């Protein structure tokens, strides 16, 4: 999948300091979003922040995109979550293939959210859920496994690399929800099954019949569909709804 052009522009244009480069905007009724810049391991990255336009969020979902994808590919899920009462933080991950590094960045971001040190985020909650798509699911798991206060992990057709997820899974005590496509090349023939086998508290491990890897992000694009199979709007909506229900269940504990 192509390296996102938008991310390259961010890396070229943004300074290393923390700046806000987009004013809050209402992206759909009841959902406010904005884009910030944050520096991760010396690399300035864009971060999208979504939250309900009124009331205190149920929790904060830290959401991670897949390999060669970007935060924009998770906009639809982020808006659904925010419309259901969650704050959502979606960074462009700084590393292309260093999934351990991306997990470390997500854990650091979680620490900043919990501490309340970054007032500009204005999230309104310090309760955290880690979630991610494909390789972002692995990074989210690695972050959650080192963050004992996490409410849980939600994997969206997650893909393991070099058994990093297998090793991390037993260290995560929080509940897990996993939604997967049938085994195919783009999800490494469902190698996340080995992660699921080692998790300590799996609430749901669901295969979505007929799903392609691209159904777990949105908006997706033609290249993903060319490589991984066509996405279906109905399946995409059903997966997003399942993630929202999983997040609600995690905050009801």
Sequential pLDDT tens for the chain (253 residues): 333 333 333 333 333 333 345 678 887 899 999 999 999 988 899 999 999 999 999 999 999 999 999 999 999 999 999 999 999 999 999 999 999 999 999 999 999 999 988 878 878 889 999 999 999 999 999 999 999 999 999 999 999 999 999 999 999 999 999 999 999 999 999 999 999 999 999 999 999 999 999 999 999 999 999 999 999 999 999 999 999 999 999 999 7
Q: 46 Cβ partners below 8 Å, 6+ apart? A: 6, 7, 10, 14, 35, 36, 37, 71, 91, 92
Residues in the chain: 253
Which one, of 72, 10, 8, 82, lies nearest residue 221 by Cα? 72
SS3 breakdown of the chain: % helix, strand, coil, rounded to 5? 40, 25, 40
Q: Where are the alpha helices (DSSP H) in 1-74?
A: 5-13
The answer to whether the beta carbons of residues 91 and 119 sit under 8 Å apart is: no
Q: Where are the alpha helices (DSSP H) in the chain?
A: 5-13, 75-83, 99-115, 135-145, 164-168, 192-198, 222-228, 233-251
Residues 191, 206: Cα–Cα separation, whole Å: 14
Question: What pLDDT, on the 0 to 100 scale, is given for residue 112?
Answer: 92
Residues 190, 83: Cα–Cα separation, whole Å: 31
**Half-sphere exposure for 46 (CA within 13 Å, toward CB):** 20
Question: What pLDDT, on the 0 to 100 scale, is given for residue 125?
Answer: 87
To the nearest 10 degrees (0 to 180), the angle between helices 135-145 and 99-115 is 50
**Could you tell me the CA-to-CA distances from 29 to 71, 79, 90 in Å, in that order?**
21, 10, 20
Which CATH number is 5-251 given? 3.40.50.1820
3-state secondary structure of 163: coil
């Amino acid at each position: 999948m192509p390296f996102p052009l938008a991310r390259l522009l961010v890396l070229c244009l943004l300074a290393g300091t923390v700046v806000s480069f987009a004013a809050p905007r209402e992206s759909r009724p009841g959902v406010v979003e904005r884009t910030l810049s944050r520096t991760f391991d010396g690399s300035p990255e864009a971060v999208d922040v979504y939250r309900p336009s009124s009331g205190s969020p149920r929790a904060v979902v830290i959401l991670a995109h897949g390999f060669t994808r970007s935060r924009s590919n998770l906009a639809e899920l982020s808006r659904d979550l925010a419309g259901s009462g969650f704050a959502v933080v979606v960074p462009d991950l700084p590393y292309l293939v260093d999934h351990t590094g991306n997990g470390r960045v997500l854990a650091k971001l979680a620490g900043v959210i919990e501490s309340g040190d970054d007032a500009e985020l204005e999230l309104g909650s310090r309760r955290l859920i880690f979630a991610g798509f494909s390789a972002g699911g692995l990074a989210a798991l690695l972050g959650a496994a080192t963050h004992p206060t996490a409410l849980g992990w939600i994997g969206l057709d997650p893909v393991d690399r070099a058994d990093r997820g297998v090793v991390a899974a037993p260290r995560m005590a929080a509940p897990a929800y996993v939604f997967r496509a049938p085994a195919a090349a783009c999800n490494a023939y469902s190698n996340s099954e080995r992660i699921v086998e080692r998790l300590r508290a799996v609430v749901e491990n669901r295969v979505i019949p007929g799903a392609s890897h691209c159904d777990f992000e949105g908006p997706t694009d033609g290249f993903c569909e060319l490589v991984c199979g066509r996405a279906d709007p109905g399946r995409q909506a059903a997966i997003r709804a399942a993630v929202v229900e999983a997040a609600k269940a995690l905050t009801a504990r």
